[in-house]
Amino acid sequence: MGLPPEINTYIKESVDHFLGLHVTKEILELKLIASEEPLRRLSNRLRRVGRESCEVVYGGEPVAGRIV
């Protein structure tokens, strides 16, 4: 069972980048997209926890002016 061509290319170019070799713009864009996804999930989780803590502490929905 082989890897899809995109994955093979990504791995090859990641190794090339690590070794200081030329990396294509496409691979850098893929790396940027991949790094943004965990940040987005973490941000969403932080907002959710903030809302839940307001519900526990203040007994309801967040109020305008409160940092959530």
The string of pLDDT tens digits covering residues 31-42 is 888 888 888 899
> Does residue 24 lie within any of the structural domains?
yes
**Integer Cα distance of 26 and 13 in angstroms:** 10
Instruction: Give the model's pLDDT for residue 64.
Output: 58
52 inside domain = yes
The answer to whether residue 53 is domain-embedded is yes
Q: What is the pTM of this model?
A: 0.45
- Percent of the chain with pLDDT strictly greater than 70: 84
Helix (H, G, I), strand (E, B) or coil at 61: coil
Confidence of residue 53 (pLDDT cuts 50, 70, 90): confident
67 lies in some domain = no
Overall number of domains in the chain = 1
Range of the domain at 23: 5-58
In a domain, residue 15? The reply is: yes
47 within domain boundaries: yes
Tokens found for residue 46:
């932080």
